[in-house]
Structure 1
Amino acid sequence: MSPLNSAYFTNGSIVHPDFFYISGLAGIPLTNYYYVFLSFVYAVTVLGNTFVMFVIYTDHCLHSPKYIAVFNLAVSDLFGSTALIPQLIDTFLVKSHLISFEACLTNMFFVLGFLTVQSFTLTVLSYDRCVAICFPLRYNEIVTHKSMAVIIAMLWIISGIAFVIAILFISRLSFCKSTVINSYFCDHGVMYRLACNDNTPSSVIHWTHPLLILWFPVLFITGTYLCIARALLKIAAASERLKAMKTCTSHLILVSVFYLPMCISVALGSIIHQNARIINMSLSTVMPPMLNPIIYSLKTEEFTECIKKLYRRKMIHIAVTKK
């Protein structure tokens, strides 16, 4: 029996450990440099996503259904990174590998919950681009502020319910064996396998979550871009076709950055070394929230123009103040 465990009752009572030990990156060499890198990533993530939210909030030109979704992506990126990176740095850099049972479940809920919201938001943005290009004359009728707000609210509700259910089943498991989590956070898939009682419901949930977070969104986004490609082929003028394609550039880059690393990790599975898998999954979790605001700022013409307008307004204000 691990000394971390609470007392074990032989009459079938549920056994919860006082603490879990997150081993994660502990066996990987030169990890101190990785934590410096993570600190940089987190700083850029906070500044970038806060800036995106500020620009969308202050510029009325961006108060459109599309930018409701972009604002939501920035919110989920910011809070998702905050749920993961500071805990990750504290766990391994400060050598505080122990995390209480309740804190571990909280960490799982927020990290995976915000990851799901990010995935769903990218799916919503693909829907927005599909309607804008395939049904341009009906776009304002189909994609309204109200409909987008309802969609965003629903994806938060679905994400919350999914992981509340997951945590409820985890809380019904007994951990009377190992309390070592071989991951960089309280990963659901690793945790439920540590249980010594029937973990079938958690196993089903574990195999369902990739469908919810990864495969359904990827299939939906692929379908929307097939529809977009078909619509573009019907546009006679090459200049108009190119203009329509440019509106999808930023979203396609976001999709590639977010889904490709996860798809590679899932596809390779046990083929790659555990340390390589952990590094790849941690990077695929922390990098998209940092890159998303940079991509939108540089690749979205409408957003770039709003930044320039805010800058010119600020310069005029400074000039007037000096006078």
Structure 2
Amino acid sequence: MTNNTSSSASEFLLQCEIQPEQRNFVVLVLSMIYCVTLFGNLLVILVIRMNHHLQTPMYLYIGTLAVVDLLNSTNIVPKMVAVLLDSVIIPYGLCLLQMYLVCHLEILESLLFVFMACDRYAAVLYPLQYPALVTNKIVWLSLTLSNIISGLSLVPTMIFVNELVFCQTNVLPYCFCEYATILNISCSNNPKYFILQAATTLLFGVFPIAIILFSYLRIAQTALIISSLDGKSKVLSTCLTHLLVMSLFYVPLMISYILSGIGVKLSLEVSNTLVIVANAVPPMMNPIIYSFRNTEIKISMYRLFTGMRNSLLSNSN
């Protein structure tokens, strides 16, 4: 352990607590996950960008989700791998930058899921008014608003974290820089720091989940009334796809928060495992889920690869 007897820290030592015999395996898995994440999300972005028929509100949200997943994974996974291979010393400023990006992108993704749920809510419950209610302009406005909300909501966090005093240690027993862990190793016990953490979790965790579940419950109720079997199947399939993607994002994080909140003490290894699953797996799975469950994206990908193959064949001839 690195001791720091001064009131401030110029750097942090990251330590990701995983059993030594499992480290090489976890590093290999994370590296594979990152490669699949890069390929899958870039492919989704490319397909939506190239196909004008897919530049509609729902697909713009899916494309934005791919961009956010790509940025979040790039911000976190390479650092996880480096820390697992060996403890990493990270300058104070870079640590805060990574913490800000983690918080900003997670809040943005949470709000994005809410907008995606509202989009499907309007499409199913108000199909005739949907083209007027949800336009591409509305989508870009909602995404801009999400970035502004996320940025403004993190101002208190960045102010508070710069007030923290580190008088005992600068070792972060975590895979990357994160507010709660930085707070836990500090010597600052002012309740305002913990209240901010609880308020942020409530505002961007619990409330979005409640809105999402309400939206899809109403969508499911409406789908059951639809007389067409094909219509029911399409609506429920879309709901299932979106809920599956959201569950991958929320469930591991909420398990960690809820268990800690009710007094269940998680070991550092279990806590870090939940963190790895929550931050590494969803960005990889999201494009896979959308690709396999969305006919339009599958057709566009098939046409893209077919066109590339035909182009290569014609060039070789």
Fold shared per TM-score above 0.5: yes
Does structure 1 retain, via aligned residues, the 8 Å contact 2:75–2:102?
A: yes
* 2:232 counterpart of 1:241: yes
Q: 1:211-250, aligned counterparts within 5 Å?
A: 211-250=202-241
* Alignment-mate amino acid for residue 223 of structure 2: L
Shift of 1:141: 0.6
Aligned to 2:267: 273
Residues 16, 101 of structure 1: 8 Å contact kept: no
The whole-number CA distance in structure 1 between the counterparts of 2:50 and 2:34 is 24
Q: Give 1:140's aligned residue.
A: 131
Which deviations, in whole Å up to 9, do the C-alpha atoms of 1:51-96 show, x marking residues without a partner?
A: 1111111111111111111111111100101111111112231x24
Aligned with residue 73 of structure 1, among 60, 65, 72? 65
The secondary structure found in structure 2 opposite 1:280 is helix
Aligned to 2:282: 288
State the Cα distance separating 1:231 from its structure 2 match.
1.3
Is this contact kept in 2: 1:192–1:199, CA < 8 A?
Answer: no
**Which range is displaced more, 52-61 or 22-31?**
22-31
Choose the corresponding residue for 1:298, options 270, 292, 295.
Answer: 292
Residues in 1 aligned to 2:228 and 2:298: alpha-carbon distance in whole angstroms: 26
RMSD between aligned residues: 2.0
1:201 matched to 2:195? The reply is no
Mapped to 2, the partners of 1:201 and 1:28 lie a distance apart of 37
Could you tell me how far 1:249 is from its partner in structure 2?
3.0
Question: 38, 41, 49: which is aligned to 1:46?
Answer: 38
Q: Does 1:91 align with 2:70?
A: no
**Aligned-residue offset at 1:198:** 5.0
1:58 maps to what in 2?
Answer: 50
Alpha carbons of structure 1 residues 197 and 315: separation in structure 2 relative to 1, 3 Å: closer
Q: In structure 1, what is the Cα distance between the partners aligned to 2:118 and 2:70?
A: 23
Counterpart of 2:173 in structure 1 is 182
Alignment of 1:26-45 (within 5 A): 29-45=21-37
Say if 1:179 and 1:194, in contact at 8 Å, map to a contact too.
yes
* Displacement of 1:136: 0.8
Deviations 1:121-174 (A, max 9, x none): 222111111111111111111110111101011111212222233122100121
Identity of aligned residues (%): 28
**What is the deviation of 1:26?**
5.3
In the superposition, the TM-score normalised over structure 1's length comes to 0.90
Per-residue CA shift, 1:222-242, capped at 9, x if unaligned?
A: 010111022113212333212
Distance apart, 1:191 and its partner CA: 1.2
SS at match of 1:30: helix
SS at match of 1:304: helix
**Amino acid in structure 1 at the alignment position of 2:274:** N
Which residue does the alignment assign to 1:149? Answer: 140
Distance 1:38 1:290, change over 3 A: same
Between the aligned partners of 1:243 and 1:81, the Cα distance in structure 2 is 31
Structure 1 stretches lacking a partner, 5+ long: 9-14
Inter-CA distance 235–3: structure 2 relative to 1 (3 Å threshold): closer
Q: Quick check: 1:23 aligned with 2:15?
A: yes
Q: Contact conserved, 2:56 with 2:136, CA < 8 A, in 1?
A: yes
CA contact (8 A) 2:170 2:185 kept: yes
Q: Is 1:103 the equivalent of 2:94?
A: yes
Counterpart amino acid of residue 113 in structure 1: H
Residues in 2 aligned to 1:199 and 1:81: alpha-carbon distance in whole angstroms: 32
- Which is further off, 227-236 or 42-51? 227-236
Higher mean C-alpha deviation, range 197-206 or range 161-170 = 197-206
SS of residue in 2 equivalent to 1:98: strand
- With over 3 angstroms needed to count, the CA separation of the structure-2 counterparts of 1:22 and 1:318, relative to structure 1, is closer
The 2-side partners of 1:135 and 1:312 are apart by: 37
Q: Give 2:305's match in structure 1, choosing from 303, 311, 314.
A: 311
* SS, match of residue 177 in structure 1: coil
Partner amino acid for 2:148? I
What letter matches 1:206 in structure 2? Q
Partner-residue secondary structure (3-state), 1:184: coil
Instruction: Give aligned pairs, total.
Output: 314
Q: d(CA) in 1 for partners of 2:177 and 2:309? A: 47
Could you tell me how far apart the structure 2 residues matched to 1:54 and 1:304 are?
13
Say whether residues 1:262 and 2:256 are aligned partners. Answer: no
Deviation of the 1:254 alpha carbon: 0.5
